[in-house]
Structures are given as C-alpha cells and as structure tokens.
Amino acid sequence: MNNKEINEKQIKEIRSLLEHAKQPDIDEGRKRKTLELLQAERKRLHIRSKKTYGQRVWEQIPYISPAAWLLQGILLLMIGWGFYAEGREEILLYLLFCAPMAGVVGFTEIMRSYRQNMWELEQACRYNLRQLMGMRMIIFGIADTLAACGVAVMGLGAGVQAWELVFFYFIPQILSDCVYLYLMARFRRRFQGTALLGSAVLMAFFWMKLLQGVPYNKQLMQRIAEPFALILILSASVGLLAWCCARFLNGMETECCEA
C-alpha cells in the first residue's frame, strides 16, 4: 500500500513539472532555415518520384564491380571458343558443361553486396535492401539474357540447331540458377562466393552425368526436338526461376523484419 502511495505521489510530481515546464522560444531564423530544408527535401523527393523504374535500375549499373563485367565477357568468349570443337556431340556437351557457369558471376556479385550491405550504406534512405537486390537481379538477368542471345547467334552460326541450344544450354542454365537461388535463400549470409562456385561445378558435372549420352542417341534426340515438349519444359523452367527470385526477395524482407 505504501509503495502505491509513493508511486502516485511521484506521478503527480512529474505531471506538475511537465505542466509548469517552460517551452523554449523558437528562433525565427532557425525556424525559417528548418522550413527551407524541408522544402528542399520535398523537391528532391518529388524529382526522384518522377523517375521511371527503368531509370532507377539504370542508375545502379555504376555500382556493380567492373570485375563482374570482365568475368561475364571472359565466360562468353570461352563458350564461343567451344563452338570450334570437332563434332556436334562435343559442342553440345561443352554447352551443357558451361550452362551452369553462366549465372555464377551475377549471383556472386549479388551475395557480395548482400553480405557487405554496401548499397544499403551508400544509398541509405533511398531504397531498402530488398529493392536494391531486386534491381541488381534485374541487371544481371538482362546481362545473362544478352549473353544467351550471343551464345544463340554463335551456335546457329556454327550449325547448332535452335532446339539443341534450348535443351543443352538455356534449360540447364535456368534450372541451375534456380538451385543457386534456393541455396542463397536457405543459407543467406553464410553462403559464400566459393560455395556458389563449388555449386556451379557440381551442377555442371550433374548435367554432364545426366545427359552425356543424349547427343549420341538419335532416337532420343528426335523425341526431344518436338517443339511442344521443349516449349513446355522451357516455360516451366522460367516460371520456376521467377518463383525462386520472389522467394529469395521475400525471405530477405522477412530477415530484415526479424533483425
């Protein structure tokens, strides 16, 4: 009972102090300066809001390491060199081996920034980490698509058929990217670049082991060449990749909320 009376007395004293406290006078010059800063910030936000999403993505390209673009170019040249191999079967197997490597550069760069949070520090209060990683995934997605177009042009020039490029390069690349995204979402910051590279090597050997006999089986090759089956498999692979990307980004938001 005594404790209750003491607490009530303290509350009354604090309330009395707050009621009789003198409010500091606001200097007119300070008030005017604060309003000017608020107006300038409002204009800056208004200008930023007018930018399209494409312009915002384009602004992020300079933040990507030049080494990533260099490695992308080297990888594309290595794939192009494989088209000079003797024999159609050897070319297809070389494509199959290189397909899982195509996404390694982009995902390694994404995980590097994710672990270090460099973009979050450089662009604080502009975009959250989920938005930044989404933009970076779009950038490397476009880069991988352009590289795939380059592979297609070189392959068609070397006499490789379109369905062979789809089955031996595009589909393994997309499904390998799904595996990388799953591992990135599963292990988050513990998933280092070396682990990603090791996963790419394992995926390359997995595809080689799974499909190494296909180029030498003429009947099976004819069945695979059916357009409907290829379109169905390719569409399912692209849908799975989109789901994996969304899962990775949503998981990042959940982690930020739990932090």
Report the distance separating Cα 160 and Cα 88, nearest Å: 8
pTM of the predicted model as reported, rounded to 2 decimal places: 0.72
Report the distance separating Cα 132 and Cα 69, nearest Å: 18
Based on the structure, what is the number of domains in the chain?
Answer: 1
Give domain status of residue 10, yes or no: no
Asked if residue 21 has pLDDT above 70, the reply is no
Give domain status of residue 180, yes or no: yes
Residue 74, phi then psi, degrees to nearest 5: -65, -40
Give domain status of residue 235, yes or no: no
Q: pLDDT tens, 131-151?
A: 888 888 999 999 999 999 999
Model confidence at 257, pLDDT cuts 50, 70, 90, reads very low
Q: pLDDT tens, 138-194?
A: 999 999 999 999 999 999 988 889 999 999 999 999 999 999 998 888 876 666 667
Tokens 């490789």 sit on residue: 160
Q: pLDDT tens, 209-237?
A: 888 888 888 888 888 888 888 899 999 99
For residue 84, the tally of other CB atoms under 10 A from its CB is: 9
Give domain status of residue 198, yes or no: yes
Where in the sequence is the domain holding 180, given as residue range(s)?
39-230+240-252
Give domain status of residue 26, yes or no: no
Give domain status of residue 6, yes or no: no
pLDDT at 251: 76
Give domain status of residue 127, yes or no: yes
Q: What is the largest CA-CA distance in the chain?
A: 97
Give domain status of residue 258, yes or no: no
